[in-house]
Amino acid sequence: MAVRRQRRTQQERSADTSERLLNATIDLLHDRGLYRMSTSEIAEIAGLSRGALTHHFSSKEEIIVEAVGYMLRKVTAGLHEMAEGIRFSGSSTDEIVEYLWRMMNDRLFYVTMEYLPEARHNPEFREKIVPVVKEFHEGLNAVWAELAAQAGVSVDQVLVLMNATMCMFRGMIAQTTVKDDPAYFQELLQFWKGQVRREFNAVVASSPVIRRAARS
């Protein structure tokens, strides 16, 4: 006897529709750019009617804000998972730098470059984006804070390495828009891993050990 599938609730169907629209928005931000995409294209890519889009989102700006938040929260969750992994299993600066490069280069910063000009010139848009961007930065801080705790050093010194790494990667990814040379960027990545490794080891060697509080 065939098992009868349970029908999804209205809330589940609505959540699925929203997710399809948000994913389509991210795809178009990356592939077409903020100023070249339209709400009609978003609906088409999502396989939905434009009416379904306007039922969930009142404007192009609203769906872009929600899509950016959706993307950043997923990335932030991954950062907190990595921080937890460092807490229990340890890690190295090389592994962290490699992870952050893959994260930033996997559409994240390309999409960021699309919405940053709008955030600069549109105060209301910026105000909506800033809270979720802060959550993302807290996720980054958590990763490096766990690395500092693992080594028993001040987190402030280690966060300088994190900020320098993120600035380095933003510049590298921006350059890929006019320079298609994977070997060049791989060489830079390996160079930066070495720089961070040496700087981190110097911090460890020159710092008094800070004991982590016992985990309850």
What is the per-residue pLDDT across 13-71, written as a single tens digit (0 to 9) for each?
A: 889 999 999 999 999 999 999 999 999 999 999 999 999 999 999 999 999 999 999 99
42 and 129 co-located in one domain: no
Alpha carbons within 13 angstroms on the beta-carbon side of residue 199 total: 16
Q: How confident is the model at residue 4 (pLDDT cuts 50, 70, 90)?
A: low
Is position 198 within any domain? yes
Which among 36, 58, 80 is the end of a domain? Answer: 58
Alpha helices, DSSP H only, in 32-154?
39-46, 50-56, 60-89, 93-103, 109-121, 123-151
Tokens representing residue 145 in the block: 């804070």
**Whether pLDDT at 132 is above 80:** yes
Tokens representing residue 87 in the block: 């807490």
Burial of 156 (C-beta count, 10 Å sphere; 0-12/13-18/19+): exposed
Question: What angle in degrees, to the nearest 10, is found between the helix axes of 10-31 and 109-121?
Answer: 90
Q: Which amino acid would we find at residue 170? A: R
Tokens representing residue 80 in the block: 């907190």
Is position 3 within any domain? no
pLDDT of residue 214: 41
pLDDT of residue 85: 95
pLDDT of residue 216: 39
Q: Identify whether the C-beta of residue 2 lies closer than 8 Å to the C-beta of residue 23.
A: no
**CATH number for position 37:** 1.10.10.60
**Whether pLDDT at 6 is above 90:** no
85 and 190 co-located in one domain: yes
